[in-house]
Every structure is written in C-alpha cells, then in structure tokens.
Amino acid sequence: MKKLRVAAVGLGWVAQHRHLPVMECSADFEVVGVIDRSPGHAREVMSKRKYPYYAEGSNLGDIDWLQQVDAITIATSPMSHYSVIRQALELDKHVLTEKPFTMTVAEGEELAALAVGRNLRLAVVHNFQFARSTKRLLREIANGDLGVVRSVSAVQMGNPGRRLPLWYEQLPLGLFYDESPHLLYLLRRISGDIDLQRCLISPSTTGLKTPARIDAFFRPTAFDGPCTLTCNFESPVSEWHVMVFGEKRLGILDIFRDIYLSLPNDGTHDTLNVFRTSVCATAQHVWQHIVSGIPHLRRSLFYGNEEVFARFARAVRGSVEDLAPIGPGSALAVLRLQHTIVNCHEIVDHKAASGART
C-alpha cells in the first residue's frame, strides 16, 4: 500500500530515538520532513537522516511543503501540544502525539471533537502496553494463568539525577504530569476503568514542584480488590514496575528492562517453595536480559512504539478499531485521571508529624 507521508514536529530525544527510527524501519511511513523551533536543529536532523524538507518555527500554516504530507507526529513539550495538534487538524492532517495529551481536559475534549468533526485520526503514544513483556502479562491474565486477580500495584521510582526534560517543573505536579500517563494507561489496560478514591502527596524535600512521593488508590472495574499507584521521585535508582497479584501466580512487569516475571504461588513458603521461586525468578530474569538486552544494545528496543505507529497507520487507512487503545477515548480517560489527582489530593506534612513525635 502507499506509504503514509509524515512530518515530524519536535526533534528532542524521543523523536530522534523512538519516533523517527520506528518510521524509518516501517513499510508504512515515509518521513517527508522535520520541524523544530530551535535555530538550525531541524536542518541538522534533515541532513543527518536524509529527509527532503525541514522547517523552523511553530506556525504550521507557514510551511508550504506540508501540503505533501498526510499526517503529523508531535514530540514537542506538553505545553505546546494543544496548539500544534489543533493547527495540524485544521490543516486536515492526521495526528499522532506524545503524551501527556494536553494541559487541560477541556483542551483534550476540544481536540477530540475537532478530529471527529473532520474525520481525522488522532492518537497518543501510549506505547508500553504493546511492549513484549506487557503482552506476556496480558496474555497470562486473559488465559487465566494468574488465576483470579486479587490486586494490582504500579510502582514508579525516579532518580532526579537522570536525563530529564528541561521543562518538567512547569507542569502540574512537575514530573508526575509528564510520566504518569504510562502507569495510568497500564493500570487501565489491566484493571479496566479506574476511579480515584484517595491520593496522598508528600511534598518535595528539595523545594521542587515535583513531589517527593505520590500514593494513589483506585477502584477498578475488572476485579474486586485494591488498585494502587506509588510514585517516588526522590529515589536513588530509577525503576518502573507493575505487579499483578493473582490467586495462582504473581506477575511482575519490569517496564524499563522489558522483562516479565511470572512466579508461582509459594504456598506454605517452606524451603522448597522459596528455592523454587528463586530459581524461577533468576532463570526468567537472566534469559529475558538476553532477549531484551541485545536489541537494547543495538538501539532497536522500541518498547511497543512500533505497534503504536503501525496501529496509527492502519487507522488512517480505515481500520479505526486499531485506534481504540491509543485513540482520543483512551487519551481523555488518562488525562481525566491525571487532573483528578492534581486537583483532589491530600498533602502529607511529614515535618509536622516528625515534630509532633519529638
């Protein structure tokens, strides 16, 4: 089939290490040109990757070669998503944007309605749900291998010294707003629709807008039991995990390493069962380090981005059902959860509690 002609807007790390390589490796896409606000940056990327066109600035209407493209991918800062998406839709271009979707729920709803009104495809890069490890977890849940699901917990640990975008402190609750969509759409994929019941926030110990810790409690629709999200933004190590506690097995998703561990019920927790769990965990971990490690070293481990882009291409060609997990409905559900947490949390004053104890 004819390739989808694309322009990429925003040329930071994500665009250059995820979006552009995935499209270059795909038979579905032809990158026509790149756009960035930074002087000289788009031209440099165009020359390096051998694309036909480039442009500088943020006004898409001024770029005449956009007449040649069918779709626009967006990897700009979240604060600019609404403006760039709206411009692209008004130019009758299909849009695939990075998360978080927009800065407000009203903006997201407006863009979703605009896309429907113009019969255009609008999608968000919710990629980890299509990673190899996540697919294995979802398969085990669907096949009943874990047994009845009792609870689900997502745990995020972030080292503040790692590579972070320059603008993250401008967002509501800082880094939480930028990174939480990943954990929230994973929780929704596993637990069904989730409603926030309570959220506790521990303020930063270093004066940042990004809290030290967030603990959110949800009511899931897929099972009767706890569904929780814990984010620690002042951790000495960076780890993201999702744990599904079934009656038969424990499923552990190691998001950063694209590793899935499936551990059997250890019953009475006697010596033999403990040994079995250790062997099972070690063997799976070592083997999947090889399976995921080799493509990671080759810079071809895309954590499900390849399926996001493939689904987007199929949706543009008419297979609209492929859009569901990354479409406006999913994007708005996650966006609403984010704003519920931003607007309806309780502050935990650890200093006051410490003073009261002394």
- Indicate whether 38 belongs to any domain: yes
* Nearest in space to 336 (alpha carbons), one of 102, 31, 127: 102
**Residues 263, 145: one domain?**
yes
**Residues 169, 118: one domain?**
no
* Non-local CB neighbours of 246 within 8 Å, separated by 6+ positions: 141, 145, 146, 147, 148, 149, 150
Confidence of residue 355 (pLDDT cuts 50, 70, 90): very low
Say yes or no to pLDDT of 349 above 50. Answer: yes
Confidence of residue 350 (pLDDT cuts 50, 70, 90): confident
Average pLDDT, the chain: 96
Write out the two tokens for 161. 């010294």
Q: Are 72 and 50 in contact (CB under 8 A)?
A: no
- Indicate whether 66 belongs to any domain: yes
- Indicate whether 335 belongs to any domain: no
Cis peptide before 100 (omega within 30 of 0): yes
Chain centroid to Cα 170, Å, comes to 19
**Residues 77, 143: one domain?**
no
Q: 105-117 and 328-343 are packed helices; what angle lies between their axes, rounded to 10 degrees?
A: 170
- Indicate whether 169 belongs to any domain: yes
Q: What is the pLDDT of residues 182-195, one digit of tens each?
A: 999 999 999 999 99
Q: What is the pLDDT of residues 100-133, one digit of tens each?
A: 999 999 999 999 999 999 999 999 999 999 999 9
**Residues 72, 109: one domain?**
yes
> In the beta sheet, which residues pair with residue 226?
none
**Residues 214, 258: one domain?**
yes
**Residues 66, 192: one domain?**
no
* Nearest in space to 158 (alpha carbons), one of 199, 227, 204: 204
**Residues 209, 271: one domain?**
yes
Interval 252-258 mean pLDDT:
97
- Indicate whether 255 belongs to any domain: yes
- Indicate whether 207 belongs to any domain: yes
**Residues 113, 160: one domain?**
no
Query: β-strands 122-124, 346-347: how paired?
Result: unpaired
Q: Are 53 and 30 in contact (CB under 8 A)?
A: no
**Residues 113, 153: one domain?**
no
CATH number at residue 287: 3.30.360.10
Confidence of residue 353 (pLDDT cuts 50, 70, 90): low
- Indicate whether 110 belongs to any domain: yes
Coil, strand, or helix at residue 148? coil
**Could you tell me the pTM of the whole model?**
0.95
**Residues 118, 142: one domain?**
no
CATH number at residue 45: 3.40.50.720
Of 126, 160, 175, which residue constitutes the final position of a domain? Answer: 126
- Residue 157's CB: how many other CB atoms inside 10 A? 17
Q: 105-117 and 81-90 are packed helices; what angle lies between their axes, rounded to 10 degrees?
A: 10
Q: Give residue 356's pLDDT.
A: 43
Q: What is the pLDDT of residues 262-287, one digit of tens each?
A: 999 999 999 999 999 999 999 999 99
Q: What is the pLDDT of residues 15-47, one digit of tens each?
A: 999 999 999 999 999 999 999 999 999 999 999
- Residue 272's CB: how many other CB atoms inside 10 A? 11
**Residues 146, 102: one domain?**
no
Domain that holds residue 139: 128-297
Write out the two tokens for 274. 């403990």
Structural domains in the chain (count): 2
**Residues 232, 97: one domain?**
no
